[in-house]
Structure 1
Amino acid sequence: MDLKAGLVRTALNGTARVAPRLAGRWAIDLFSNPRSRVAVKPAEEPVMRRAERGELTVNGKTVAVYRWGTGERPVLLMHGWMSRASRWSPLVHALTERGYSPVAFDGPGHGESGGRGSDVVEFRDIARRLQAEHGTFTALIGHSIGGLSAFFALHGGVAADRLVSLAAPADFDYLVQGFRAGAGLGPWAAAELRRRIEHELFPGETDAWARLSATYRPTRLTLPIMIVHDESDDVIGRDQSDRVIAAFGGQADLLVTKGLGHRRVLADPQVIEAVLDFASATDPVG
């Protein structure tokens, strides 16, 4: 066991016995803020050097934005937790080769953006701002929590012709329970984290946890959906995508990969080709 992680677990569980609200505040801080920022990989640098860079501000946090292409047929890319826009480099290269214009961002607390952390609400708000600039997206593509954020953004007014979700959870509560189990926190943490998320993300809302689900009111989303998940994903279980497929029926296609795990699906040539084929299925240019 990592010594630091063990000390944090002991401190939080001990504090919860006498001051559960204080322990909850510490726990939500750990849950909401990435432990570190990942760096750009050498293989990603050529694509990132070609990006047109900009920024916007959400909740007082500066968000780094990257654009490629001519602006025609924009595609919005939403990265996962403890990731960054550069991880989309293989797909960005392929999209621009096909005449699409990828748009990506580093979420707050990630990459070159400001802040300590972010959430699906901020990802939705960033997507709204980018749509106001670029118009309806030809495709909205998200990985991991970025995939869940994509569903949430579509319910929040963001418009796209197609949706691709890679290795994403079906419910936000899945992430909460996974964090609690991984950190070794007692049952107190689940209730306190849920209470704080409801209070801080959805004040006054009565159906917060239903809305934080990819399966929320599926009949409201009429666009074609592609779900990609690796059968050996040890971060987000394959069953999460099965739940989404069951909710959307024939509206959603499922691509199951083998041996890629949670992150390598982003750079796998076969996955990229399948995503491109799906994105261009109704594209007159494609």
Structure 2
Amino acid sequence: MKIKKGIRFITLKSVGSYINFLSYVRPQRAMELSYALFSQPRVGRFKKEKLPKILRDTETETFHHNEHHFQTYIWKGNETKILLVHGWESNSSRWKKTLPHLQKSGSTIIALDAPAHGQSSGKEFNVPLYAEFINKAVEKYQPEIIIGHSIGGAACVYHQYLFPNTSIAKMVILGAPSDLKTLIDNYISMLSLNNRMLPLLENKFINRFNFKLEDFSGEKFASQFTIPGFIAHDTSDNIVAFAEGKKLASNWKNSQFIETTGLGHGMHDDDLYDKVIEFLFEGTK
């Protein structure tokens, strides 16, 4: 394990050194390469003939959106619908441990694969496109509840900000980042990129998505929310800092924040799921 980590460290530093070199001689190429590394997942895809077991006995539907397509999986239940939104380098099978808890409620559960993940199309992942996928699924299925993990949680927050008047009445956000600027800063630090790269990446986001890094903030988006939110983050999360969850909760007026310890980034825990179920269904039975 230590050897693998060492190899990864050397590889990241080598890539970072190459990008730093390019930033002087071919800055446009440096920007495109660094953005590609940031936005293209390396794992999380699978083919239809190799579906994870948890996804095999589901109803499936493929949605087409502009030049993209994305996949959904449905576990049929009653008229209450829950939409599940996974995170980076994952897919809908990540909800395997969550499903039994949610199915006790009798609800119909729908999961979707993110851009460039699972059976969905593309090589690039980005939150604005994921929010568009979410919106297509919300329009079709009319879920009352949405649950997002990691960057999937950030996509749920952005979707709610863009489309506040949908069927969604409650949100659960697990281990999610708040600020894009923090993600970019961490990425630059991980690759040891030089100080020429941040302005280049900032320009990429302005040109590609028409927003500045500091404007893309879950903390800011959540200040507009009126629906109830349940936000949980683990103090030992080494993928998304605990402070990000606190930021997200700080401006969300109608929300509760749950601090966990020892769950890491995955956030799978029976006690936590009991709290989620209580939040979602207390007073409805």
Same fold (TM over 0.5): yes
Residue 160 of structure 2 corresponds to 154
Evaluate the alpha carbon distance shift between residue 234 and residue 269 of structure 1 in structure 2; reply closer, same or farther with a 3 A threshold.
same
Further displaced range: 252-261 or 30-39: 30-39
| Secondary structure of the corresponding residue to residue 163 of structure 2 | coil
Decide which of 133, 141, 145 is 2:147's aligned counterpart. Answer: 141
Q: Does 1:172 align with 2:180?
A: yes
Cα deviation, residue 218, structure 1: 3.8
Cα deviation, residue 146, structure 1: 0.8
Give me the whole-angstrom Cα distance separating, in 2, the residues matched to 1:152 and 1:278.
21
Give me the whole-angstrom Cα distance separating, in 2, the residues matched to 1:190 and 1:102.
40
Residue 248 of structure 2 corresponds to 244
CA contact (8 A) 1:47 1:92 kept: no
Residue 183 of structure 1 corresponds to 191
Further displaced range: 65-74 or 162-171: 65-74
Residue 90 of structure 2 corresponds to 83
CA contact (8 A) 2:70 2:120 kept: yes
Cα deviation, residue 245, structure 1: 2.1
Cα deviation, residue 208, structure 1: 6.5
Residue 274 of structure 1 corresponds to 275
Give me the whole-angstrom Cα distance separating, in 1, the residues matched to 2:132 and 2:282.
28
Q: Does 1:113 align with 2:117?
A: no
Give me the whole-angstrom Cα distance separating, in 2, the residues matched to 1:273 and 1:45.
26
Give me the whole-angstrom Cα distance separating, in 2, the residues matched to 1:219 and 1:229.
19
Count of paired positions: 273
Cα deviation, residue 88, structure 1: 0.9
CA contact (8 A) 2:78 2:106 kept: no
| AA of the residue aligned to 2:226 | T
Residue 200 of structure 1 corresponds to 208
Residue 261 of structure 2 corresponds to 258
Gap runs ≥5 in structure 1 = none
Residues 110-159 of structure 1: CA deviation (Å, up to 9, x unaligned): 12222112111111111111111112x22111111111111100011163
Where do residues 37-116 of structure 1 align in structure 2 (5 Å cutoff)?
37=44, 45-70=52-77, 72-116=79-123
Cα deviation, residue 35, structure 1: 2.1
Further displaced range: 267-276 or 122-131: 267-276
Cα deviation, residue 279, structure 1: 1.1
CA contact (8 A) 1:62 1:113 kept: yes
Cα deviation, residue 175, structure 1: 1.1
CA contact (8 A) 2:61 2:72 kept: yes
Give me the whole-angstrom Cα distance separating, in 1, the residues matched to 2:54 and 2:103.
10
Evaluate the alpha carbon distance shift between residue 72 and residue 230 of structure 1 in structure 2; reply closer, same or farther with a 3 A threshold.
same
Gap runs ≥5 in structure 2 = 1-5
Give me the whole-angstrom Cα distance separating, in 1, the residues matched to 2:68 and 2:249.
35
| Secondary structure of the corresponding residue to residue 57 of structure 1 | strand
Give me the whole-angstrom Cα distance separating, in 1, the residues matched to 2:239 and 2:38.
15
Q: Does 1:223 align with 2:219?
A: no
- Structure 1 stretches of 4+ with a deviation exceeding 4 A read none
Q: Does 1:214 align with 2:244?
A: no
Evaluate the alpha carbon distance shift between residue 38 and residue 269 of structure 1 in structure 2; reply closer, same or farther with a 3 A threshold.
farther
Cα deviation, residue 231, structure 1: 0.6
Give me the whole-angstrom Cα distance separating, in 2, the residues matched to 1:65 and 1:236.
26
Residues 222-255 of structure 1: CA deviation (Å, up to 9, x unaligned): 0111110111111111111111222124x21111
TM-score computed with the length of structure 1 as normaliser? 0.88
Cα deviation, residue 191, structure 1: 1.6
Cα deviation, residue 219, structure 1: 4.4
